[in-house]
Amino acid sequence: MVDQTELVNAARATAGRLGINPSALLTAISYETGGKMSPGTWGGKGGNYLGLIQFGPSEQQKYGVTEDQSPREQM
């Protein structure tokens, strides 16, 4: 289970860097993960997309995204 405090803190930090609202980022993450809010969530077409923002296979490779990352690591 994901530490919700860690997730919120990571979203705040990332949103600050991007100049967006943390609530908007968390809302997008909720949609992308089907409400699971977990970096280990697989989904999308063929179940090939991973993570908080559902990285595709090539993005997983490019950015080193894995299902055992923490929210901070994945963001």
Q: Strands, E, within the chain: which ranges?
A: 42-43, 49-50
pLDDT in tens, 46-75: 999 999 999 999 999 999 999 999 999 999
Q: Name the pTM for this structure.
A: 0.89
Distance set, CA 63 to CA 10, 27, 33, 35, 56 (Å): 17, 22, 19, 23, 10
pLDDT at 21: 98
Q: Tokens 């919120």 identify what position?
A: 8
pLDDT at 3: 87
Amino acid at 59: E
